[in-house]
Structure 1
Amino acid sequence: MAVKIHEQFKLNGHGYSNEELKEVAYSLIKEGEDFEKDIGDFLLDWLSPDLQLTVRTSGSTGIPLGIALKKQHMVNSAKVTGEYFQLEAGDRVLLCLSPQYIAGKMMLVRAMVLGLELDFVAPTSRPLDGVNKSYKFCAMVPLQLESSISKLNQIQTVIVGGASVSSQLIKLIANSNTKIFETYGMTETITHVAVRPLNQYDTKSKFGAFKILPDITISQDDRKCLVINAPNISDDPVITNDIVELISEKEFLWQGRFDNVINSGGIKLIPEQIEQKLSSLMPSRFFVSALPDLKLGQKLVLVVEGEKIEGLQEIISKADLEKFELPKEIFYIPAFVNTTNGKIVREKSLSLIKS
């Protein structure tokens, strides 16, 4: 049996019955741009009698995978988001993410389940160019957020995810009247299960901490990685590869990926923590990684995108780095390999280094 569409749901200003929405989907698939075809495909999947559908991961930490998700779990996720961000039937929201992935799909689901009026635009790096309406809610990736700062007054609440938010971007949005939240989640958890404010801070929470959404509990495994128990959106606990510090039963600090940890001469280094220390100083995109080393096992390296930066060693010396956190070598790559949402694919980018 197909999932019921809320009677107040609108797509680009028009309300549709289930059958009419199927016709819109067919039209998008037949005549639309690539992203519109993806919207049409998803609408047909959602309106089908199947109780679950397959969503693919972004592929930032490996080969993109197809994951089967229950539609009821997606409905439950949409309702929790609606409650947390106070979304009500008739509110206008904007879809500017690729509908190929879970974050874009869930914007459509939230609209259909909660009765929101959803407009969609092409998922470009500058999604608000040419957009003149105001919106209650929108989801973006960091690159889109950065390019939209001058027009953020058109949106009341923005959630940002898909890639880490740099300290420079956090400074740029500090004085925005828009409420901006970074999200934590993945395809397996049907987008976000935790959020942290990037401006207009909640003084009751530890700065930088993610706060979990209702009906979710968290713990750590023996690797200090986050374990998520969310029965309304996943039948089984989700064991992540994200190293965290638990602040309370409801909050955690994200520290980095377990699969990125570097063992250099017996010292374990978390690249993301080193990157955080460098992020406010670096003029170009970069990441920290490791290469094999006969003496250390792995040596810490800094990989920079673009042209050589004059005085980079001096820049690095200004960061609050421990001696063992200093890169042993610096490499430059013309352009990183990225996922569609702008996240650096570290392993593939590292392989571009010419020996």
Structure 2
Amino acid sequence: MASYNPHHAFRVNGRLTSGENLFEISYSLIKEGEEFEKHIGEFLLDWIDGSSTISVKTSGSTGTPKTIVLKKEHMVNSALATGSYFDLAPESSALLCLPATYIAGKMMLVRAMVLGLNIYFVPPTSNPLEDTNRSFDFGAMVPMQVKNSLPNLHQVKKLIIGGAPISASLREDLKNVSNASYETYGMTETITHIAINPLNTGTGFESSFSILPDVKISVDERNCLVINAPKISDETVVTNDVVELVSEKEFKWLGRIDNVINSGGVKLHPEHIEKVLSKYLNIPFFVIGVEDEELGQKVVLVVENTSKSDIHKTLDKILEFKKFEKPKAIMVSKEFKRTESGKVQRQKTMSLL
């Protein structure tokens, strides 16, 4: 059986952790910890159980959640690539504030074990830095956590952000934070990120993703990204993400092909329209295509628990929309349907309207 013993410098909340006492720590978390700590303990035991694979749930943001099986060897390779890119040395400190039930949280633990990091974990709340004064060399958050943590974000020297699109307003806010924040592109099948976009190191709003070493990219006939990364996946990963290849190592993400709106024969990407709107709307919203007799589909703005009249006034002021991009209608949902990790489920939300 394969052995995946942690690095000799691996620490949990400051406590030096060897293969021998990792069982004890894991069982303690499962038996006595809070709910999020139980998941951490369970994953740590799964990692050292002698098996060569791990079962991981996908988030279900674009469809039905499913369980896929990943090789631990590939997870180790992913952790090594991240450590190399971000120059993470043994005994560097790391913050885990994501649930260990999904790949992003699991990989923070794997990076700590593989690279010998000192990992501290806090409850995976919307404001994870609220109750800690400690500084960290490395961490990972979703955009909602970043937004709520802005006053304290300097506590995380190098921060990767993923799981959902980053709004234009948050990108602007990050330029004023004295840390290094990076937008990531990836998915469960690629064991989190395979491409990085620095956010507050002088890059602009429309900057592109740069792929990590040992990754090759191309597009299929739909202009969707195809990923060939043998060190982290035995199979080529064909995505539903429409991209523009800038070079053989860079791409711009345009949106999900599942979400494309065909309005009057013009293909529109809701994600692009949402980027424009995010400069003006500081509320939960998304854009979707709805059947229309004249256009085939029309652009509709869906907002959460907000007055339509206020939104109409805002839309009238926006001059950046191209042909057919301005929403033709506004719909109000009392509450969006979301996955456990906080991603908005567009179709499920629409089915309730």
Mean CA deviation greater in 17-26 or 176-185: 17-26
Instruction: Name the residue aligned to 1:164.
Output: 165
CA contact (8 A) 2:194 2:212 kept: yes
Aligned partners of 1:97 and 1:103 also within 8 Å:
yes
When the two structures are superposed, what TM-score results if normalisation uses the length of structure 2? 0.96
**Take 2:177 and 2:63, find their aligned partners in 1: how far apart are those partners?**
35
Instruction: Tell me if structure 2 keeps the 8 A contact 1:284–1:306.
Output: no
| Secondary structure class of the residue paired with 2:81 | helix
- The match for 1:274 is 273
Shift of residue 8, structure 1, vs aligned partner:
0.3
Written as runs of structure 1 = structure 2, the 5 A alignment for 1:1-355 is 1-201=2-202, 207-319=206-318, 320-353=320-353
| Letter of the structure 2 residue corresponding to residue 114 of structure 1 | L
TM-score norm. by structure 1 comes to: 0.96
What amino acid is the match of 1:322? K
Q: Structure 1 stretch 276-285 or stretch 235-244: which is displaced more?
A: 276-285
Shift of 1:159: 0.6
Deviations 1:102-154 (A, max 9, x none): 00000000000000000011100010111111110000001111111111121
Aligned partners of 1:66, 1:82: CA distance in 2, in Å? Answer: 27
| Mapped partners of 1:281, 1:156: distance in 2 | 29
- Using the TM superposition, give the Cα deviation of residue 202 of structure 1 relative to its aligned residue in structure 2, in angstroms: 5.2
The answer to whether the Cα contact below 8 Å between 2:308 and 2:330 also exists between their aligned partners in 1 is: no
Secondary structure (helix, strand or coil) at the match of 1:247 reads strand
Distance in 1 (alpha carbons) for counterparts of 2:242 and 2:64 = 21
- Superposed displacement of residue 279, structure 1: 1.2
Q: CA deviation at 1:292?
A: 2.3
Once the two structures are overlaid, the 10-residue window that deviates more, 234-243 or 312-321, is 312-321
**1:32 positional shift:** 1.4
Identity of aligned residues (%): 53
The code of the aligned residue for 1:352 comes to L
Partner Cα distance (2:124, 2:62) in 1: 22
Change (3 A) 1:16 1:130: same
Shift of 1:27: 1.6
In structure 1, the gaps of 5 or more residues are: none
- Paired letter, 2:323: K
Structure 2 residue matching 1:325: 3-state secondary structure: coil
Q: Deviations over 1:73-92 (max 9, x none)?
A: 00000000000000000101
CA contact (8 A) 2:10 2:18 kept: no
Which secondary structure state, in structure 2, belongs to the residue aligned with residue 254 of structure 1? strand
Residue 148 of structure 1 aligns to a residue in which SS?
helix
Equivalent position amino acid for 2:77 in 1 = N
Structure 1 CA distance, aligned partners of 2:263 and 2:39? 44
Counterpart of 1:308, as a letter, is S
Contact 1:2 1:46 in 2 (8 A): no
1:309 CA drift (Å): 4.2
Q: Take 1:266 and 1:164, find their aligned partners in 2: how far apart are those partners?
A: 26
Q: Distance in 2 between matches of 1:69 and 1:281?
A: 41
Deviates further, 53-62 or 28-37: 28-37
Q: How many residues align?
A: 351
Q: Measure the CA separation in 2 of the matches of 1:109 and 1:195.
A: 19
- Is the 8 Å Cα contact of residues 93 and 119 (structure 1) preserved in structure 2? yes
The answer on whether the counterparts of 2:185 and 2:196 sit within 8 Å (CA) in structure 1 is: yes
Distance in 1 (CA, whole Å) between partners of 2:6 and 2:280 is: 49
Tell me the SS of whatever aligns to 1:136: strand
Counterpart amino acid of 1:346? Answer: R
RMSD: 1.4
